[in-house]
Amino acid sequence: MNTAELELPVSVPSTALFTDQYELTMLQAALRSGTAHRRSVFEVFTRRLPEGRRYGVVAGTGRVLDAVENFRFGPDVLDFLRSRAVVDEATLSWLADYRFGGDIHGYPEGEVYFPGSPVLRVEGTFAECVLLETVVLSILNHDSAVAAAASRMAVAAGDRPLVEMGARRTHELAAVAASRAAYVGGFSRTSDLAAGFRYGIPTSGTSAHAFTLLHDSERDAFTAQVESLGRGTTLLVDTYDVAEAVRTAVEVAGPDLGAVRIDSGDLLLVAHRVRQQLDELGARDTRIVVTSDLDEYAIASLAAAPVDSYGVGTQLVTGSGHPTCSMVYKLVARADDADDGGTGGGGALRPVAKRSLGGKSTVGGAKWAARPRDADGVARAEVLGTGALPEELADVRLQVPLVRAGRTIGREPLDAARDRHRAALAGLPLSATQLSRGEPVLPTEQR
């Protein structure tokens, strides 16, 4: 499904107002000074990974492409800006015709990244590029944080499937984006139907404790669910007494019961007891699903438990303690010409950089990125540089074209990003999968 063809579920007419006011006031000043049409290059990167994380995950690229395509200043938006006197009439007139006409390159979605990695490069006139800063960062910072948490949880889960269940723990629109990012990071299903509709992610879900409490007895609740959804359904067994509920569940559904879900208590202990009980009752193929405020560490602690799948909510949609990746969008190169008639094509690009204390300096120049591998196919470094890409790194270059002259060329199915992440993770040193705190698993080398 091409999500650009669907209406965005937002309360404003376009993505143009998903921005900070200073993007527009910078535009106004640049138009007045004659510098707005200087050819410019912006890069998205992070100076560091969240504390203890060994790699990051690029997610949200497809949503960025949708946002850029839908970045339009219609009459209602322009009237709002006029009523608040955000910018002058000359700027409003320029915005009325705004269409991004530049180029965007970046790490393909699902790829991993490290400190300094140029995960996105936006090139065009200063005017058209600067306006995209806030919306690009809001998408990539959120989605990449969720995808990184999802990836760590998927590593901890091994071959056991994970279901994203965080819609009730975050903003309703963020929930859809989080489901998408979790799928990229390794989750297999979501409870959020909006995510299923918008992105084609498989959905699942059966019942909550309220359904059991609605009925006069647990047996009545289980009978109603089985009669409606079939013996392959999942019955929630921890509303009252778990052992009694498991016994009743098998009596109602028989040994063909699909699964039972445990949502509270000492999950390791309870899972072992439930597995033993199910086996004794002849329900050897009935699966055990566990939920209850899981994170990657809790999932790892259940590795030896007879658990078949996990449902994760709060910790996933909040990035498991790191809800942002601290990505920034910085100007790294620009042309010297003051004005080339609005095309942004004149003049050679020269590097520009922020020089400040406190770790906020930047490295100038439009950068390429490559990840060479050793004889065993394992990545050994994240190599960054400016100028011509060395011939020996051509086959391991990371950035791909996403937008060319304003036309999207890098859209792909969501499953492609999911498969790419699995392959990227497999190509990292084995220590990347350790949950213990550590430094980034690959060093970043500047050339």
Tens digits of per-residue pLDDT, 219-231?
Answer: 999 999 999 999 9
Both tokens of 422, joined, read: 């699995």
pLDDT in tens, 77-106: 999 999 999 999 999 999 999 999 999 999
Q: What is the CA radius of gyration of the chain?
A: 25
Q: What is the pLDDT of residues 353-394, one digit of tens each?
A: 988 776 778 899 999 999 999 999 999 999 999 999 999 999
Q: Taking residues 287-309, what's their average pLDDT?
A: 97
CB 429 within 8 A of CB 94: no
Give CA angle at 328 (362, 169), nearest 5°.
155
Give the strand order in the sheet containing 382-386: 367-370, 382-386, 444-446
- Residue 346, pLDDT > 60, answer no
Instruction: Please list the alpha-helical segments (H only) found in 171-237.
Output: 172-185, 193-199, 209-214, 218-229
Mean pLDDT lowest among 34-48, 121-135, 338-352, 428-442: 338-352
- Rounded CA-CA distance 179/169 in Å is 12
Confidence of residue 321 (pLDDT cuts 50, 70, 90): very high
Which of 401, 363, 412, 366 shows the shortest CA–CA distance to 102? Answer: 401
pLDDT for the residue 355: 85
Residue spans of alpha helices (H) in 231-336: 242-253, 267-280, 296-301, 314-317
407 contacts: CB under 8 Å, gap ≥ 6: none
Cα distance between the two ends of the chain: 41
CA distance 279 to 135: 52
Instruction: Assign 8 a pLDDT band (cuts: 50, 70, 90).
Output: very low
pLDDT value of residue 18? 94
The mean pLDDT of 153-167, rounded to a whole number, is: 97
For range 265-285, the mean pLDDT: 98
Per-position b or e across 154-164, b if 16+ CB within 10 A of its CB: bbbbeebbbbb
Residue 437: pLDDT band (50, 70, 90) is confident
Predicted confidence band of residue 238 (pLDDT cuts 50, 70, 90) = very high
pLDDT at 6 over 60: no
pLDDT(198) > 90? yes
Q: Is residue 401 predicted with pLDDT exceeding 70?
A: yes
Q: What is the pLDDT of residue 296?
A: 97
What is the number of other CB atoms lying within 10 angstroms of the CB of residue 98?
15
**What local confidence, expressed as pLDDT, does residue 1 receive?**
44
Percent of the chain with pLDDT strictly greater than 90: 90
Instruction: Please give the mean pLDDT across all residues of the chain.
Output: 94
0.85 exceeded by the pTM? yes
Distance CA 145, CA 181 (A): 9
Q: Which residues, at least 6 apart from 394, have a Cβ–Cβ distance to it below 8 Å? A: none
- The residues pairing with 261 across neighbouring beta strands, listed in sequence order, are 236, 289
d(CA 393, CA 403): 23
Partners of 440 in the β-ladder: none
